[in-house]
Amino acid sequence: MAWAVLPLVTCGLATPFSIGFAAFWLRSVFQAVAAFLYLLCVVIFIAVSTGYEEFDDIPEPTSTVVSFLLVASWLGGVIHSGILVPAMVRARHAEAHYVPVRHAAPMPPPMQHATHSSPAMRQATHASAPVRHDGPQFIGPYRVLQALGRGGQGAVYLAATPHGAKVAVKVLHELGDEVSRQRFLREVEAARRVATFSTARVLDVSINGPQAYIVSEYVDGPSLEQLVRRYGPRDADSLTRLALSTSGALAAIHKAGIVHRDFKPSNILIGADGPRVIDFGIARALDQVTVTSGKMVGTPPYMSPEQLSGQPVGPPSDVFSWGVTMLFAATGRPAFGEDSVPAVFHRVLTVHPDLSPLPPSLRRIVGTCLDKTPENRPSASDVMLAIVH
């Protein structure tokens, strides 16, 4: 607390430096402005005072104004610093106790989960209206700024790192036993090795303590689903750019040995620097550790035939889902409908959708991606090369 009374023992002359230090520590623009205003008061006081041999020589109302500036810097700085100290202590405490978690602690038995995550759980909710935040102030070392959404997997928050960078933190429901949690950790660690172009990086994962969470790069933009539903289907140029960037993202994901398993429009965020694919590997990781293990993971209108029939799921499944997603971007509708689940499943397994809404340059490659047989589909890398050629 000695730092808080520094302006008191220096007659306020140290106030700009103490508040400025808080501004730097907390990465706060507001505190930086406050420090500047305090500095302005001190400079004016010193400039006027040094212009006269005696303080009594200063004429009115200048004398009163200068005295007020001194008192404001003096007492105001003490009060302001006293308010800031607890905030800085909390931030320092959170950073000091941060340990990148690689070992699990005992956790409660698992709760019931949905078979796939709700769109509200996706990072795409960054672009929607903020949800009133009644949750935790800190999640590990991350300071919570606002709630973004809640779904079957848990809750998503916009948060700040100890250094002030914005991140998305997904707090998960309870995981399973020790073996399951370690398997989950390995799956997410694999996701962290994915090349960062056209993907939202996985920055951290914790399965220790009372909360399990995944931290990913914050992408400030709507999802492809939100964009299309709000503004309509994309034009030919936009579709080509979207197809190229997302197929490149899938190629990077597959190169890291990961299968997305839930590729769809709500898992593509349109940031200022272009499309970003999110949640790669997370569906698989959660499926390994929750009570949904052994059940279907995915979103029906975008699932591949092998996902529906219970066959092994590999990179060709993501390629099929990519083709369905491109058709959604071109038409504003899922290629196999979105009515009853049995009807959608039947169409996925038997119907070949109309590709005419796509630009000619994409029709052939998308059609190949939608082949019902996984072995007949191209790889994501081949898709990317076909687009540029």
The catalytic residue among 204, 262, 287, 318 is: 262
Please report, to the nearest 10 degrees, the dihedral formed by the alpha carbons of residues 234, 235, 239, 242 taken in order.
-60
Lookup: tokens for 183: 């398997």
Q: Count Cβ atoms within 10 A of the Cβ of residue 87 and give its class: 0-12 exposed, 13-18 middle, 19 or more buried.
A: middle
Closest CA to 46 of 12, 18, 5: 12
| Preceding peptide of 61 cis, ω within 30° | yes
Q: How far apart are CA 300 and CA 307, in angstroms?
A: 9
Backbone angles phi, psi at 223, to 5 degrees: -80, 160
Query: What string of DSSP letters covers 224-250?
Result: HHHHHHHH-S--HHHHHHHHHHHHHHH
Per DSSP, the three-state class of 365 is helix
Q: Is 262 a catalytic residue?
A: yes
Contacts of 185 (CB under 8 A, 6+ apart): 102, 104, 205, 207
Give strand pairing partners of 217. 167
Contacts of 328 (CB under 8 A, 6+ apart): 224, 225, 228, 265, 334, 335
* Angle of CA points 293, 195, 386, to nearest 5°: 95
Backbone angles phi, psi at 122, to 5 degrees: -75, 155
Contacts of 302 (CB under 8 A, 6+ apart): 262, 263, 264, 265, 321, 324, 325, 334
Active site residues: 262
